[in-house]
Amino acid sequence: MSLKLAQQMLRAPARRRFLKSAGFLSLGFAIPLVDVHSQASAPRLPGDLNQHRRLRAWIRILSAEKAVQLLVGKVELGQGILTAVVQLCADELDVDMARVQVVSGDTDLVPNEGVTAGSFSMPNCATAVRQASAEVRVILLELAAARLGQPAAGLKVADGMIEGSGGAKVSYWDLVLGQALEREANGLAKPKPASEHRYIGRPIGRLDLPAKVLGQPVFVQELRPAGMVFGQVVRPPTYGASLQALDAAPIERMPGVIKVIRNGSFLGVVARREAQAQAAAQAMAQACRWKVPERLPGTQAMPAWLESTKPDRVIETHKKPRSNGAAVVRTVGASYYRPYQMHASIGTSAALATLGVDGVLRVQTHSQSVFETRAAIAKMLGMTLDKVRLQHVQGSGCYGHNMADDAAADAALLAVAVPGMPVRLQYSREQEHLWEPYGSAMVMKPQASLDAQGNIQDWKMTLWSTPHGTRPNSEPGNLLPALYLEKPFAQPKPQNGGAPNFAADRNAVALYDFPGQEVLTNFIAEMPLRVSSTRGLGAYANVFAIESFMDELAHQVQADPVEYRLRHMKDERARDAITRAAAAFGWSSWRKTAGRGRGIAFAKYKNIAGYCAVALEVEVNRSNGRIRVLRAVASADSGHIVNPDGVSNQIEGGLIQSLSWTLKEEVQMNSTQVLSSDWTSYPILTFSEVPPVEVVLIDRPGMPFLGTGEASQGPTGAALANAVFDAIGVRLRQLPLTPDRVLQALKG
């Protein structure tokens, strides 16, 4: 939700109650508040409109303000989704963008669209908004037609003003809607063709940017309601440690301390000032005695641990036996490794929680999953759902399931101990680095059988991975503090997501048209380090392996890496993405010089979302092992482009983040704890290391929105390793590609 709205609601409970009771009014018309799934006879509607079919769940006409209220369950994470949905709404409704007010991620107000993740917001939310807006426009035109006594077909609309023949006019704001928007969408209205778009397809500036550049309050970290106090938690020294002894009395006497909260091994403090809360937390941490288990594999042993641990499930992700009978002349394989890597948000996670006099716990949070996190928090506290409200307020970029939900849960636990006081909590850098759920470590072993022409006949990929999904999912056991309460919640056993999105095996099936292909996933449910969804899940590692191995095969059969890929690829859009990236890079005119190399790689994210190919050039210093990326080119086909600058920003940002993962990032651990506790022990890419990036957009007007946020990471990692091979003739299969690993590889 917008911060402005959040603050208005904090200040004006009367208005909030009105909104809430207005929602309940619709019960009087026998229209359920929670939309039901489509009945057998009802048409399939676009995106999340299918689950939330009532138009008023999405769109309301605010006559007094001459504005449109757009309600969405997806939230702004810095990816620009709220700007894109406003573009769509404004175009389909024929109003200026400035008239569209977005409410997002408020469990009391918006349709439950699940988690904002997986590059699903464009396909599921944006398509729903487009259809709902188009249908509301039809309804408004019908009302206007009746009012003006003219046929709807002859009416024109500009910025909400409807004009008929003979100068007859009526505006959206003058129409009496009554129950018109209470009806369900019917799927009959046709969205506009591209030729009639005013905003869609244009690089509209991000609506949230001016406030961020001018220093206006935007972020949850900037909420400061009257009477706010500060919370801190004390974490155990490592996973699974239990509290043996603590004398809390001296902490309670420290300056400004309002309350010390101790519930099993969960420890927290609430104080008047932020520094007082931090001082008390620090003193408490020093006063604790913990029992610390020793059970981590350690950084170096992690690849072997993955291969030697008995998997919870061996999943046949894909099996297509070959039937062509072609003769195979040789079979080759390789083993690749991706370590644990962090989300590593620049802002540590935070939340503001208040237990109101009405008994409602309000949590302002940058969670990606306000509804499911609400349910998890309610269960953790033994409260009913109607007594817990989550409101999304922007936080630092998260790139997946970071500690946003943990912060919401921690703040909630502290807030219920000090009723009436708004408690704001923000983690220290160490807490965020040490406790966030990392991207899982993985081992990938592709193997290929080649015919006499060097073509791939059989392809087999085997992978080993711990889980990629421990999101709140309405279960308190997925919230970090709930594991340490006196009556702890058990963490539910994580599952691997199946088709079509997959999780550990996301993008493990190569899009190439191999005559035979098989993918086997060793899913290890055990979690030495806490893990969850990190941008792309298994896709980054699997694409790194597939596209590195394709490069190895191309070199083995002395084929050009671009030609070799195209040789095995029928999908026209994939071919287009590869060809255009190669052309923009200048692949065919590139000449090799000493120490330099080029690499290319491709993937279609999840094999169902955006297409992306990356080509880049590196220089490798043989004496110190340093890799410098000189330039990068990415092509992107995300279907019909709503905001070209938004797509470009996501593709380039994903590429740069992936360069950082690929060159530098590995969570370090010993046998008891994580050692990567700050930006020195877990460095990320800096300005001087970022190359120029060119993004080639491939627009597909009229085609479905495919989503963009996770398209470029996989191809970038492989393109980089391929370029390093081209530069020094040595293949690096273990991430990250650090100077030490380069030197070691050069020594052979």
Partner 1 sequence: MIRFKLNGQNVQSDASPQEPLLHILANDLQMNGQKFGCGKAQCGACAVLMNGDPVRSCVVPLAAADGRSITTLSGLSEGGKPSRLQQAFIDEQAAQCGYCTSGMIIQAQALLDRNPKPTDAQVRSALDGNLCRCGAHNRIVRAVLRASKGA
d(CA 244, CA 260): 17
* Helices H / strands E in the chain, number of each: 17, 25
- CA-to-CA distance for 564 and 551, rounded, in angstroms? 8
DSSP state of 607: G
Instruction: Specify the residue, 224 or 319, whose C-beta has the smaller distance to partner 1.
Output: 224
Is residue 513 a contact point for partner 1 (CB under 8 A)?
Answer: no
Using the minimum distance from each CB to partner 1, give the nearer residue, 429 or 592: 429
Q: Which of 688, 740, 747, 748 binds partner 1 (CB under 8 A)?
A: 688
Q: Which member of 4, 20, 169, 212 binds partner 1 (CB under 8 A)?
A: 212
**Contact call for residues 124 and 47 (beta carbons, < 8 A):** yes
77 is an interface residue for partner 1 by CB under 8 A: yes
Given candidates 65, 358, 386, 678, which one binds partner 1 under the rule CB under 8 A? 678
State the number of binding residues for partner 1 (CB under 8 A).
58
Q: Select from 182, 222, 560, 571 the one that contacts partner 1 (CB under 8 A).
A: 222
Q: What are phi and psi of 293, to 5 degrees?
A: -75, 155
DSSP state of 125: I
Helix axes 3-11, 13-25, angle to 10 degrees: 100
Question: Does position 534 bind partner 1 by CB under 8 A?
Answer: no
Residues 6+ apart with CB under 8 A from 200: 87, 88, 91, 194, 642
Site string for partner 1, 632-671 (x = CB under 8 A): -------------x---xx-xxxxxx--------------
Q: Give the shortest CB-347-to-partner 1 separation in angstroms.
A: 4
β-sheet bridge partners, residue 242: 291
- Written as six digits, the tokens of 179 are 């129950």
Tokens of residue 34, six digits = 């929670």
Nearer to partner 1, 68 or 277 (CB): 277
Binding segment for partner 1 (CB under 8 A), chosen from 221-229, 281-289, 499-507, 601-609, is 221-229
- Alpha helix positions (H), 568-676: 572-585, 644-664
206 binds partner 1 (CB under 8 A): yes
Residue 379, interface with partner 1 (CB under 8 A)? no
**Does residue 690 touch partner 1 according to CB under 8 A?**
yes
Across the beta sheet with 693-697, the strand order is 596-604, 611-620, 627-637, 693-697
Binds partner 1 by CB under 8 A, chosen from 23, 187, 201, 217: 217
Judge whether 622 and 680 are in contact, CB under 8 Å: no
Kind of pairing, strands 388-392 and 596-604? unpaired
Name which position in 46, 78, 164, 472 contacts partner 1 (CB under 8 A): 78
* 338-367: contacts with partner 1 (CB under 8 A): 344-348
Q: Does 397 sit near partner 1 (CB under 8 A)? A: yes
Q: Is 209 in the site for partner 1 (CB under 8 A)?
A: yes
Q: Which of 120, 239, 266, 399 binds partner 1 (CB under 8 A)?
A: 399
- The residue among 132 and 218 lying less far from partner 1, judged by its C-beta, is 218
Strand partners, 62: 67
Q: DSSP of 428-485, one letter per residue?
A: -HHHHHHHS-BBPPEEEEEEEEE-TTS-EEEEEEEEEE--S----TT-GGGSGGGGGS
SS3 702: coil
Query: Considering the rule CB under 8 A, would residue 226 count as an interface residue with partner 1?
Result: no
User: Which residue lies nearer to partner 1 by CB, 269 or 383?
Assistant: 269
Stretch that binds partner 1, among 64-72, 216-224, 509-517, 588-596 (CB under 8 A): 216-224
584 binds partner 1 (CB under 8 A): no
Interface segment toward partner 1; rule CB under 8 A; list 55-63, 97-105, 215-223, 480-488:
215-223
Coil, strand or helix: which one is 84?
Answer: helix
Tell which one of 684, 697, 730, 746 touches partner 1 (CB under 8 A).
Answer: 684
**How far is residue 22's CA from residue 18's CA, in Å, rounded to a whole number?**
6
What is d(CA 573, CA 603) in angstroms, rounded to the nearest whole number? 11
Is 687 one of the binding residues for partner 1 (CB under 8 A)? yes
Angstrom distance (rounded) from CA 712 to CA 543:
10
Decide if residue 610 touches partner 1 (CB under 8 A).
no
Q: Find the shortest distance in angstroms from Cβ 600 to partner 1.
A: 20
Answer yes or no: are the C-beta atoms of 251 and 293 closer than 8 Å: no
Residues that bind partner 1 (CB under 8 A): 77-80, 203, 205-206, 208-210, 212-219, 221-222, 224, 230, 273-275, 344-348, 394-397, 399, 426, 428-429, 645, 649-650, 652-657, 678-680, 684-688, 690, 692-693
